[in-house]
């Protein structure tokens, strides 16, 4: 299929042996529930497109950072962004991180069309997964295929970020049994170079404002693959919020990353753009070029998408056709729109690629680590890229 992306290679007949090699490197979920998650092919991206994507990511990172600083302290805006009230005191009490470092571990998801038009779909600024696929599997597979990989820098950027934050504990839910999340925090700890220990969030508890591990030892600094908005839902959320507010626990990513995480922030940016507020001419050019019209209400003439402000992995996404009729919805991911407000966004075109699993739509992720865009994550699936999508590595061709 003609287009900016080129799919190279064909699956090796001995998939089991290749999956075993990847597992040795740290990527141990090439297959999930007897289904092929990793596609044994590679997507080649033109160098010029990658250069534009990296520059666009840096511009958008600054634009969204500025929006967080505009929102901070305005409780009426916290409500519009769907941020649970249990977090409001924390956001107002704690200082904002330095410019560009509201989150040190984040991932943009972009729709890149077949002709190379780049549009931002969303930003996971709090708990992105896909790190192992991007930082470990992709560089190895790119070297094998003779493609360049900007992902080679990811481990050093993680080391720089963790060197600043210095967490003692890295935690996820169901550590040891949830393959992806467990493998993610183990890889991050390994790349950090720190002597941090891994823990299950369900083994942690709060005692008089102090977070403690299963043995009762205090935890003062922690990285957690635990979405901050769930503090407004979980039984122990209020106690965890108090531990952070009282200064007994430093969380990484920092609390203000929840503002970046809300898809409502894109509606705030678009509203400021339409009103001619906050942004200079260069920023406005980048917003118009790389962002999608996004609103708190379905005001579109034509096709659009609705999704929860805190939906993840495709959950809660609904696609509407040009007549405003529901065309498709995600039925595999958790529908967070029952708990958080919904945002409405203009639909964007995802490039279609021919793979060993058939014709799929390609979603392009770009990690931002310690403030620097530096890592591609390829996922291929249907019109909605959810839990059932495949990992396919993306490399960069040499400039012609």
pLDDT digits (tens, 9 = 90+) for 239-287: 999 999 999 999 999 999 999 999 999 999 999 999 999 999 999 999 9
Is residue 305 pLDDT above 70, yes or no? Answer: yes
> Rounded distance, CA 87 to CA 78, Å?
9
Residue 219 resides in a domain: no
Q: Do the domain assignments include residue 70?
A: yes
Look at residue 71 and tell me if it is in a domain.
yes
Token representation of residue 16: 């089991």
Residue 366 in any domain: the answer is: yes
Supply the pTM of this predicted model.
0.95
Q: C-alpha angle 369/375/381, rounded to 5°?
A: 120
Phi-psi region of 35 (alpha: psi -120 to 50; beta: other; left: phi over 0): beta
Residue 202 CB partners (closer than 8 Å, separation 6+): 173, 174
Compute, in degrees rounded to 10, the torsion defined by CA atoms 182, 183, 189, 191: -170
Per residue in 95-123, pLDDT (tens digit) is 999 999 999 999 999 999 999 999 999 99
What's the pLDDT band for 302 if we cut at 50, 70, 90? confident
Please compute the mean of the pLDDT values over residues 12-21 and round it to a whole number. 97
Q: What is the pLDDT of residue 332?
A: 67
Residue 311 resides in a domain: no
User: Residue 362: inside a domain, yes or no?
Assistant: yes
The pLDDT assigned to 325 comes to: 81
65: nearest Cα among 348, 283, 391: 283
Please state, rounded to an integer, the average pLDDT across all residues of the chain.
94
What value, to the nearest 5°, has the Cα angle with vertex 98 and ends 95 and 104? 105
Tell me which residue range forms the domain holding 43: 6-151+258-262+352-396
Q: Is residue 273 part of a domain?
A: no
List the single range of 27-36, 282-291, 377-386 with lowest mean pLDDT.
377-386
1 falls in which pLDDT band (50, 70, 90)?
very low
- Would strands 42-45 and 105-112 be described as parallel, antiparallel, or unpaired? unpaired
Structure confidence at residue 50 (pLDDT) = 98
| Comparison of pLDDT for 398 and 165, the residue scoring more | 165
Domain-located, residue 179: no
What's the burial of 356, exposed, middle or buried (CB within 10 Å: 0-12/13-18/19+)? middle
Question: Could you give the number of structural domains in the chain?
Answer: 1
Closest CA to 263 of 67, 27, 49, 36: 67
- Specify the pLDDT at position 68: 98
Give the pLDDT score at 315. 59
């Amino acid at each position: 299929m003609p287009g900016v992306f080129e799919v190279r290679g064909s699956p090796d007949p001995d998939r089991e042996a290749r999956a075993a090699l990847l597992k040795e490197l740290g990527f141990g979920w090439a297959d999930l529930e007897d289904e092929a998650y990793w596609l044994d092919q590679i997507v080649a991206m033109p160098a010029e497109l990658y250069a534009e994507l990296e520059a666009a990511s840096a511009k958008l990172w600054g634009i969204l950072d500025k929006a967080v600083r505009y929102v901070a302290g305005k409780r009426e805006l916290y409500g519009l962004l769907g941020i649970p009230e249990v977090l409001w005191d924390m956001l107002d009490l704690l200082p904002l991180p330095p410019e560009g470092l509201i989150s040190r571990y984040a991932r943009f998801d972009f729709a890149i069309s077949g002709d190379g038009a780049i549009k931002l779909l969303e930003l996971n600024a709090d708990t992105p997964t896909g790190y192992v696929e991007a930082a470990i599997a992709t560089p190895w597979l790119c070297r094998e295929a003779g493609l360049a990989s900007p992902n080679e820098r990811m481990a050093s950027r993680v080391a720089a970020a963790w060197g600043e934050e210095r967490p003692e504990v890295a935690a996820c839910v169901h550590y040891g049994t949830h393959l992806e999340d467990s493998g993610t925090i183990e890889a991050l700890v390994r790349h950090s170079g720190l002597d941090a220990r891994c823990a299950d969030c369900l083994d942690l508890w709060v005692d008089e404002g102090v977070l403690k591990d299963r043995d009762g030892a205090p935890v003062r600094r922690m990285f957690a693959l635990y979405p901050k908005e769930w503090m407004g839902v979980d039984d122990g959320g209020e106690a965890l919020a108090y531990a952070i507010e009282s200064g007994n626990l430093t969380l990484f990513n920092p609390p203000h990353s929840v503002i970046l995480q809300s898809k409502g922030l894109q509606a705030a940016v678009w509203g400021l753009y339409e009103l001619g507020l906050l942004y200079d001419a260069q920023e406005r050019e980048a917003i118009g070029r790389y962002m999608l019209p996004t609103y708190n209400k379905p005001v579109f003439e034509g096709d659009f998408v609705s999704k929860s402000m805190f939906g993840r992995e495709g959950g809660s996404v609904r696609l509407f056709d040009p007549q405003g009729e529901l065309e498709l919805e995600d039925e595999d991911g958790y529908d967070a729109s029952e708990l958080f407000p919904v945002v409405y966004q203009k639909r964007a075109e995802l490039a279609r690629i021919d793979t060993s699993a058939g014709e799929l739509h390609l979603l392009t992720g770009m990690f931002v680590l310690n403030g620097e865009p530096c890592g591609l994550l390829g996922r291929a699936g249907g019109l909605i890229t959810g839990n059932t999508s495949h990992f396919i590595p993306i490399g960069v061709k040499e400039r012609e």
